[in-house]
Amino acid sequence: MSTEKKKNGRPPIYDNPTTLQRRIDAYFKRGITKRTVTIGPANNKTTIQIPVPTITGLVLYCGFCDRRSFYAYEKKPEFGYTIKAARTRIEREYEEALQGGLGSGAIFALKNFGWVDKQEIEHSGNVKLTKEVIDARVARTRKALAI
* 3-class DSSP state of 41: coil
pLDDT of 63 reads: 95
Rounded Cα distance between 51 and 133, Å, is: 59
Per-residue model confidence as pLDDT tens digits over 46-62:
888 888 888 889 999 99
Instruction: Tell the burial category of 86 from Cβ atoms under 10 Å away from its Cβ (0-12, 13-18, 19+).
Output: buried
All domains in the chain, ordered by first residue: 17-116 (1.10.132.80)
Per-residue model confidence as pLDDT tens digits over 84-104:
999 999 888 877 776 665 555
pLDDT of 135 reads: 79
Does this model's pTM top 0.85? My answer is: no
More confident residue, 126 or 20: 20
Q: How many percent of the chain have pLDDT more than 90?
A: 31
| Length of the chain in terms of residues written | 147
